[in-house]
Amino acid sequence: MPCSSVLVLVVNLAKNLSDQSSTLMKLPDGTIVVDKYSLKVEDMLKQVFSVVASNTKHFRSMIKNQRHIKPPKNEKLQVITIGTHGDECDKGVKDIEKKSAELKSILRSKSIQIAYKDNAQLLHEVDGSKAKRGEFDDDPAINAIRKALNEQAYQIEVPLQWHCFGVILRNEAKDTGILELSSCEEFGESLGMSKDDVQSALQFFHALKLLFYYHDSPAKGIVFVKLDAVINIIRKLMIAVCKPRSTLEAGPDELAQLASKGYLSMNVLKMYAGALEGREDILLGLFVHLKIAALIQTGESDQTNEEDAVFLMPALLPVKDVSDASTFSKTPLLYYFNDEPVPMGLFCAVIVQLLSYPDDEKWHIITKEHNFSNFFTIQKKINKYRMCKVLLVEQLYCIEIYCEEPRHRPSANKCIKKAINYVIEDKISNYEKPVATFYCPCKDKKQHIATVEDNVLIKCSRTDEWQDLSDSQCDEYWSWFMTQEELDEAKCERQEGNPSSTLEGDPKGILRDHSGKLVDAIAVDVIRIANELHSANGLIPQQTKQEMLVGAVDNYAKSSKLVNVIQQLLGASLNPKQYLINICHVLIDQQHCILRDIATSMLHQLGQSIPDSVHHHSPVDDVSET
């Protein structure tokens, strides 16, 4: 199958999804530890699902006009989860219902569909001991898996000429795994294929993951007929950095640099180049093209000599435990992926991109800092006197950016945003770009994301309540988007103006400024107020009124929902001022002192006079503003 349209997930029923994922790698000659720290199994699964679903979407867009490949009709990634155990079933360790519920939560995504008829039971249980008895043919779980695989299969029609071409390539590359492009063109010519035909066939096979051919890279003259020709090199480098220093073979100093700093030298690469021996420069060029390595200046070698060039491969560095946010002193800017995990490999590719920019745009490694594959400190020259220092941290759903110096934050934010967007467009074009935001400063102790509007307004994502920021908080948040001069001016306007002077005549701003207090006041009698708003010429829709009657939701959540709907309707109204005036009259009529005060305040800011006592209102639609 060229790209995953079905993902088969095998769950060990003896393990919990909340356990840490394994840090061990099994090798033919033993087992090595690849990291001291690892993500939980459930978090690792979320990353895997995200990247596989993204790759599926990317592949489908790539073959949209490809007449030789027809994808299945269902565009979503189908997921089958299998619960199994060892050769002897231990009934005491199973909890099918609990694991099913956990998996259902993990698999909640627009791009994923669970391939089951029974939505309550998400695990097909397969007894591993049946393998000894050869009983799988009649197993209903295996039959269900077989059916899903058949339904999601790609229909691939390979032209006979291309098929023969592929057979020749595999036969000719059986020893080394690679071929020169010129040789491939000769083989194609013997079959009556032009050079353009050879290019089309190679790119077709590359799309199907039958070989690697990077036609737009420094390795465009090489065809990796066997995928292992490239993968094994990276695998050997990973094994080398994980082994104890005392067991390192030739070149221990440079291997130690690779293990501790991610520095890859030409001498180290020669040790593992295999069939590409003598063409290490082309291989490194391919690594740079794929955003897994960047040429760096270390000050530790003469890099005018190609043999002394040093490249950074951040993915080879260990993982750091970044779960404790209290270890960081400043409020970070977040690039948040909308409840989707950060795409696997994106963080390291962004680091490589920042280090690869030319001239004044280029960032540099701070070698004295201990970097990790998910925790990296870099710096950039602002002028001949100043350096901007930034820490990037990869969390499950976002990338955190820390910068101690406020005046450097806008330029750092601009550079990092550019790098993130470039990598997404270049490598995972179908992935939604992240949004810049912050952790919410509300009183809820559990960390969650805020919504940012116009780079200055912060709203809690849980309650939809706009946050009243202190001056120090304004400095922390606004400095990521404003220069020092712009920040000083904004704070001055904020301090000098009161709500009525700064928001007068702006219905959207007036309602936003009062939304937090409105939520608290409406929660006292949310059902009656919703009924009154609906009765008053349909100021809210029938659906919203019905949602207020749901017994399982507390009044505060209902009130937050109601105020949020009013804000949305106000924004969509052709006459927002009159809409808000009508809302205020309904609130005044509730004979609730706090609601009356809030509504009166809003009417004053709208330029409306308020009678001493208002008992009824006569909402008039579509009247001109006074």
Task: Say what the pLDDT of residue 75 is.
Answer: 76
CA dist 331 and 401 (Å) reads 9
What does the pLDDT average to over 500-510?
A: 63
User: What whole-number percentage of the chain has pLDDT above 90?
Assistant: 26
User: In sequence order, which residues have a C-beta less than 8 Å from that of residue 86 and are 6 or more positions away?
Assistant: 14, 128, 129
Considering only the C-alpha atoms of the chain, give the largest distance between any 2 of them, rounded to a whole number of Å: 97
CA triple 598-603-607, angle to 5 deg? 150
What is the b/e burial string over 38-58, where b = at least 16 CB atoms within 10 angstroms of the residue's CB? bbbbbbbbbbebbbbbbbbbb
Q: Which of 48-62, 80-94, 432-446, 546-560 has the lowest mean pLDDT?
A: 80-94
CA dist 452 and 459 (Å) reads 6
What does the pLDDT average to over 380-390?
A: 84
Helix (H) or strand (E) holding 571: helix 555-572
Output 87 or 388, whichever has higher pLDDT.
Answer: 388
DSSP string, 256-306: HHHHHH-EEEHHHHHHH-GGGTT-HHHHHHHHHHTTS-EEE--SSS-TTSG
| Amino acid letter, 475 | D
**pLDDT band, residue 160 (cuts 50/70/90):** very high
Pair 315, 373: CB distance under 8 Å: yes
**pLDDT band, residue 55 (cuts 50/70/90):** confident
Tokens of 302: 């003469």
Task: Say what the pLDDT of residue 326 is.
Answer: 58
From 3.30.310, 1.10.3110, 1.10.30, 3.40.1130, which CATH number describes the 325-437 domain? 3.30.310
Using one digit for the tens of pLDDT, what is the confidence trace for 142-157? 777 777 778 777 888 8
Pair 372, 320: CB distance under 8 Å: yes
CA dist 462 and 535 (Å) reads 28
Output 274 or 611, whichever has higher pLDDT.
Answer: 274
Using one digit for the tens of pLDDT, what is the confidence trace for 573-595? 888 889 999 999 999 988 888 88
Output 343 or 374, whichever has higher pLDDT.
Answer: 374
Tokens of 104: 């259902």
Pair 346, 51: CB distance under 8 Å: no
Residue 429, CA distances (Å) to 421, 433, 612 in order:
9, 9, 60
Tokens of 179: 């071929």
**pLDDT band, residue 550 (cuts 50/70/90):** confident
Backbone CA torsion sign across 533, 538, 540, 546: positive
Task: Say what the pLDDT of residue 107 is.
Answer: 78
Task: Note the CATH number of domain 158-226.
Answer: 1.10.10.10
CA dist 290 and 437 (Å) reads 29
Nearest alpha-carbon partner for 533 in 507, 515, 559 = 559
Helix (H) or strand (E) holding 194: none
E strand map for 67-151:
69-70, 77-84, 112-114, 123-126
**pLDDT band, residue 38 (cuts 50/70/90):** confident
555-572 vs 576-588: helix crossing angle, rounded to 10: 150
Pair 1, 73: CB distance under 8 Å: no
Mean pLDDT over each residue of the chain, to the nearest integer: 80
Nearest alpha-carbon partner for 11 in 83, 86, 91 = 83
409-427 vs 346-356: helix crossing angle, rounded to 10: 120
Task: Say what the pLDDT of residue 172 is.
Answer: 95
pLDDT at 563 over 80: yes
Backbone CA torsion sign across 244, 248, 251, 255: negative
CA dist 581 and 603 (Å) reads 7
Task: Say what the pLDDT of residue 471 is.
Answer: 73
Left (φ > 0), alpha (ψ -120 to 50) or beta: where does 194 sit?
Answer: beta
Residues in a beta bridge with 69: 156
List, edge to edge, every strand of the sheet that includes 310-312: 263-265, 310-312, 294-296
Q: Which of 79-88, 271-280, 331-340, 349-358 has the lowest mean pLDDT?
A: 79-88
Pair 313, 241: CB distance under 8 Å: no
Using one digit for the tens of pLDDT, what is the confidence trace for 432-451? 789 999 998 887 767 888 88
What does the pLDDT average to over 171-197?
A: 95
Tokens of 436: 């810049």
Using one digit for the tens of pLDDT, what is the confidence trace for 273-318? 888 888 989 999 999 999 999 988 765 544 555 667 889 899 888 8
pLDDT at 108 over 70: yes
Output 102 or 373, whichever has higher pLDDT.
Answer: 373
CA dist 413 and 477 (Å) reads 12
Task: Say what the pLDDT of residue 213 is.
Answer: 94
Using one digit for the tens of pLDDT, what is the confidence trace for 192-203? 999 999 999 998
Task: Say what the pLDDT of residue 331 is.
Answer: 81
pLDDT at 610 over 90: no
What does the pLDDT average to over 364-387?
A: 83
pLDDT at 57 over 80: no
Residue 320, CA distances (Å) to 323, 373, 415, 580 in order:
9, 8, 24, 51
In a 13 Å sphere around the CA of 422, the CA atoms on its Cβ side amount to: 16
pLDDT at 34 over 70: no
Q: Which of 97-111, 497-511, 539-553 has the lowest mean pLDDT?
A: 497-511
Q: What is the DSSP letter of 553?
A: S
CA dist 261 and 251 (Å) reads 15
Backbone CA torsion sign across 370, 376, 381, 386: negative
List, edge to edge, every strand of the sheet that includes 398-402: 364-365, 375-381, 387-394, 398-402, 333-336, 435-437
Helix (H) or strand (E) holding 388: strand 387-394
Nearest alpha-carbon partner for 260 in 245, 239, 271 = 245
Tokens of 146: 């077989």
pLDDT at 126 over 80: no
Pairing of strands 123-126, 77-84: parallel
pLDDT at 323 over 70: yes
Pair 110, 36: CB distance under 8 Å: no
pLDDT at 499 over 50: no
Using one digit for the tens of pLDDT, what is the confidence trace for 340-363? 888 888 999 999 999 999 888 899
Highest mean pLDDT among 105-109, 198-202, 363-367: 198-202
Name the phi and psi angles at 199, rounded to 5.
-60, -45
**pLDDT band, residue 422 (cuts 50/70/90):** very high
**pLDDT band, residue 562 (cuts 50/70/90):** very high
**pLDDT band, residue 118 (cuts 50/70/90):** low
Reduced to 3 states (helix: H, G, I; strand: E, B; else coil), residue 84 is: strand
CA dist 31 and 25 (Å) reads 6
pLDDT at 177 over 60: yes
